[in-house]
Amino acid sequence: MKKTFLILPVVMLLIAACSGAKNMSLDKKPLLVIENPNWFKVMPGQQDAKKFSVLMLPVAVVLENYQPDSIYFQGYHEALNYSIYQDKPVYRAQFFERSDRPKVEPPFAIEKDQALMSYYTQDSLKRFIRITDIVQGETIFMP
């Protein structure tokens, strides 16, 4: 009887872990088209100001059934923001540099010039898109 009570929580934990994994998948051929993804560093002029990087993901067309949520990029995981930049729809994220920040591992493998975007479907399922060929732009130096 005691063994049953010890084994039951382990079995329940395994079932919960397996059911959560079913709700996450990587799109091999996503409908959302990212055009010319790029990122750049911003160096502040003041010594006590924080350095940060900006990832820009211009999209060809905003799709109603895609609700982008967050992005994994170069060891960071940040929320995505939607805006219009130079008359085009774009998703962007800011990554503030901190020496004490632990590296965040994405749920699917990505290379240095890639990012992993998470989004929710109309059925509230979390899905991922691998974004490739992200180009580093020129560093911006602030006054």
Residue at 97 is within a domain: yes
pLDDT per residue, tens digit, the chain (143 aa), is 555 444 544 444 444 444 444 567 998 888 889 999 999 999 988 877 889 999 999 998 888 878 899 999 999 999 999 999 999 999 999 999 888 889 999 999 999 999 999 999 888 889 999 999 999 999 999 88
Torsion angle of alpha carbons 36, 124, 121, 21, nearest 10°? 70
Residue at 135 is within a domain: yes
Residue at 57 is within a domain: yes
Residue at 81 is within a domain: yes
Contact 117, 71 (CB under 8 A): yes
Residue at 4 is within a domain: no
Domain assignment of residue 70, given as a range = 24-141
pTM value > 0.95: no
Residue at 137 is within a domain: yes
φ, ψ at 90 (rounded to 5°)? -145, 145
Residue at 127 is within a domain: yes
Token representation of residue 119? 């989004």
CATH of the domain at 96: 2.60.40
Tell me, what's the pLDDT at 10?
A: 45
Residue at 10 is within a domain: no
Tell me, what's the pLDDT at 2?
A: 52
Tell me, what's the pLDDT at 39?
A: 97
Q: Round to whole Å and give the CA distance between 39 and 54.
A: 5
Torsion angle of alpha carbons 5, 11, 16, 17, nearest 10°? 130
Tell me, what's the pLDDT at 16?
A: 42
Number of domains the chain is built from: 1
